[in-house]
Amino acid sequence: MKLEGIDAKVKPEFFEQHQRDIYRSLEDKHTFIEEIDDDDPLNAKMVLNMGPQHPATHGVLRLVLQLKGELIEKTKLDIGYLHRGVEKIAENKTYQEFMPYTDRMDYLSPYSNNVALCTAVEKIANVEVPERAHYIRMICCELARISSHLLWLGTMVMDSGAISFFLWTFREREKIYDIFDQVAGHRFTVSHSRIGGVASDFTDSAVAIIKEFITGFPKELADYHKLLDRNRIFIDRNEGVGVLPSEKALDLGATGPVLRATGYALDQRIINPYARYSEVDFEVPTRLEGDNLARYFVRMEEMSQSIEIIKQCFEKMPKGPVRTDNAKQAYPSKDEVYYSMEGMIHDFMMTDTGICPPTGSECYHAIESPKGELGYYIQSDGTGHPWRLKLSVPSFRNLQVLEQVLDGEMVADTVVIIGGMDPVLGESDK
């Protein structure tokens, strides 16, 4: 029987068609459509709108939940509140000009996004990157991973009830911001990577502050483990909550730690090594349970693996240039720009036209960002602007999983499950 009242009950003030279609699709989500009023004398069924401005939704995520008492029967997600059309913007910018936009995609780990763009452009335009630049990128990417996972840890534990934990993880994140300040000159949106290398080499003080961080951080991590691993309240809130079964994980397109918590060791650093990840030893942590607690253990283990990678990078990092010395492919150094005519011309050409990949070439390159596989597809028409630049973002895929995982959960666990999925809406909304 078709549910009658819902159209009449919805009185949207703007985007009318949009609101009505969401409610209709909530009805159509499963094959059966039920009558709300019959057999419900206590009026236990209701439709709950959560977001887009709810503080626990980690951004402008809107959930439309159909509840029966405290149980979620069906969920629909409404995303797009942060849609800026960056793919359209990219088609009208040179590759280097587009870099600051990538910072603002996954704003919790900007460095990974910069590297993802650079590696894709380097692949399509055949740019060689100096050895030292690869290691600088790896170190900063792993720092960005720790920074992103620390924010997830703080907010997820706060979602499950422990407020003070948030401050401790933010104290550590603050140190990473200080590192990026030393390395790139920016704390948050770094834009430090360049096509063909990185913008500047590590200074001595930057190296010192990173080394200080990687010696101190494992102790903090051990403290987090001590506080949470056997914490009754934390385990009760997370164990068996938001279970994503292994057999459904690939079909639903989960990625990153969400997928690895179901048992698949799918990590782009292993299956498709970029930079110099093939030369360092590290493990890809996996769990089999697929619930929120498994995601917790996977991300915690990833942070300690990141520390190991950074240590190995410092051992293996050679001396040398940090940007390719080919003025047709990368920006010349500032010394050349200020003191030679050619340098000035090349700098102007790079800014005006940029790097031009061969006509008709196309490529896809993915890196493992903290949230999962972050891929850039670029199609070139031979000019300095991409003909099509497609961002394949992990948060988008994990939100699609969230829509399925929430069905059948308790409404009180919603925020914990969102926290465990760790979506960033700036990234998924593009």
Partner 1 sequence: MSLVLSDSLQATVNALTDTFTDKLIEVYQSSGDTFIRIEADANIEILSFLKKEQHYVYLTDVFGIDRYTSDERFEVVYNITNLRDRERLMVKVRVEEENPTLRSATEVWSSANWHEREVYDMFGVYFENHPDLRRIYLPQDFEYHPLRKEFPLLGIPGSIDLPNTTPDTE
Residue 134 makes contact with partner 1 by CB under 8 A: no
CB of 294 to partner 1, least distance (A): 19
Closest CA to 201 of 184, 213, 186, 177: 184
Residue with smaller CB distance to partner 1, 115 or 249? 249
Counting residues that bind partner 1 (by CB under 8 A) gives 52
Applying CB under 8 A, among 222, 233, 271, 345 the residue interacting with partner 1 is 271
**What phi and psi, each to the nearest 5 degrees, are found at residue 166?**
-55, -40
128, 359, 388, 412: residue in contact with partner 1 (rule CB under 8 A): 388
How far apart (Å, rounded) are the C-alpha atoms in residues 95 and 365? 15
Nearer to partner 1, 217 or 282 (CB): 282
Residue with token string 């699709």:
25
Among 204, 84, 156, CA closest to 300: 156
> Does residue 211 belong to the site contacting partner 1 (CB under 8 A)?
no
To partner 1, the closest distance from the beta carbon of 19 in angstroms equals 8
Query: 């407020």: which residue's tokens?
Result: 163
Per-residue x/- mask for partner 1, residues 347 to 366, rule CB under 8 A? -------------xxxxx-x
Q: Given the complex with partner 1, which of 22 and 150 has the nearer CB atom?
A: 22
Residue 125 identity (one-letter amino acid): A
- Residue 45 within binding range of partner 1, rule CB under 8 A: no
Q: Is 3 in the site for partner 1 (CB under 8 A)?
A: no
H/E stretch holding 62: strand 62-68
- Per-residue mark of binding to partner 1, 393-422 (x: CB under 8 A): ---xx-xx---x------------------
State the sign of the Cα–Cα–Cα–Cα dihedral 261, 266, 270, 276: negative
Cβ atoms of 51 and 60 closer than 8 Å: yes
Q: Which is nearer to partner 1, 2 or 219 (CB)?
A: 2
Q: How far apart are CA 259 and CA 47, in angstroms?
A: 30
Residue 390, CA atoms < 13 Å, CB-side half-sphere: 7
Ranges of beta strands (E only) in 290-356 are none
Alpha carbons 322 and 140: distance in angstroms, whole number: 14
Residue 333 is a binding residue for partner 1 (CB under 8 A):
no
Q: Which of 123, 186, 225, 311 binds partner 1 (CB under 8 A)?
A: 123
- From 7-15, 163-171, 313-321, 348-356, give the range in contact with partner 1 by CB under 8 A: 7-15
Binding residues among 17-36 for partner 1 as defined by CB under 8 A: 17-18, 20-22, 25, 28-29
* Residue 339 near residue 349, CB atoms below 8 Å: no
Beta-strand ranges (E) seen in 295-396 are 362-369, 372-380, 386-392
Provide, rounded to whole angstroms, the least separation between the CB of residue 92 and partner 1.
Answer: 6
* 250 is an interface residue for partner 1 by CB under 8 A: yes
Q: Which of 5, 55, 69, 85 binds partner 1 (CB under 8 A)?
A: 85
Alpha helices in 317-406 (DSSP H): 334-339, 341-352, 394-405
Residues in touch with partner 1 (CB under 8 A): 13-18, 20-22, 25, 28-29, 79-80, 83, 85, 87-89, 92, 123-124, 126, 250-253, 264, 266, 271-272, 360-364, 366, 373, 375, 377, 379, 387-388, 390, 392, 396-397, 399-400, 404, 429-430
